[in-house]
Structures are given as C-alpha cells and as structure tokens.
Amino acid sequence: MSNIQKLFSEKIEIFSAVEFSKVSVLTGIVKISLKTFLECVRLRTFGRYGLQQIQVDTHYLQLYLWRFVSDENLVQVLLDEIVCSAVHRCVDPVMMEPSVIDLICERG
C-alpha cells in the first residue's frame, strides 16, 4: 500500500465498540490480533525468506479469517499493510510468486 493509498483509505478503528454477538466479538479479536501482528512486523528486520514467510502467513490468514468477521475488506486491508510493512523492513525484498503461495497454502 503506497503512501497515497494510505491517505485515501478509510481509517480502521481497532478498538471500536463491540456488540453482544459472536460476529462482533470475533471481528474485534481479529482486528486487535492483526494490528498486533502489524506492530510486531514493524519492529523487526527481515531477510528474503522472512518476507516470503510473512507472505505465506498472511495469505493463509486471508483464506480463513474472512468467515469470522463482519467486513472481509477490513481483514484484507490489514493483511496488505502487514505485507507492505514487511517489504519495507526487508534487507533483500524478493517476493514469492502468488502461484507458489497458493500451492503452499492449499497443502497446509
């Protein structure tokens, strides 16, 4: 996500009010968890394979987390931020091919 895209993207409230429903509680937990993951990525420096592991991890989360939240786009935006942050924190940013990531996640 570029700086210009960040300017025009909707701000995600991580600690918003939670209703007394399963989906609302799970959405709150997922938002806090992904934001924590993002902050952990921002504090690390990655090599090529660390970046590729983040790619696989976020793709796997994307495949399964959407069904637990009320807004699938919210999960996608946070996962994209995590990958972008990892790219910026990587000393040798070589991205893995999307087809390889799909194959790894299908076997997992």
CA atoms of 59 and 67, how far apart (whole Å): 14
> How confident is the model at residue 9, as a pLDDT?
57
Question: What are phi and psi for residue 23, nearest 5 degrees?
Answer: -65, -40
Query: What pLDDT band is residue 19 in, cutting at 50, 70 and 90?
Result: confident
Question: Mind listing the pLDDT tens digit for each residue in 54-83?
Answer: 999 999 999 999 889 988 998 999 999 999
Query: What pLDDT band is residue 1 in, cutting at 50, 70 and 90?
Result: low
Query: What pLDDT band is residue 48 in, cutting at 50, 70 and 90?
Result: very high
Report domain extents, the chain.
Answer: 20-107
Closest C-alpha among 102, 34, 37, 105 to residue 74: 34
Q: Name the least confident of 7-11, 19-23, 86-90, 102-106.
A: 7-11
Q: Spell 76-86 as b/e; 16+ CB within 10 A means b.
A: ebbbebbbbbb
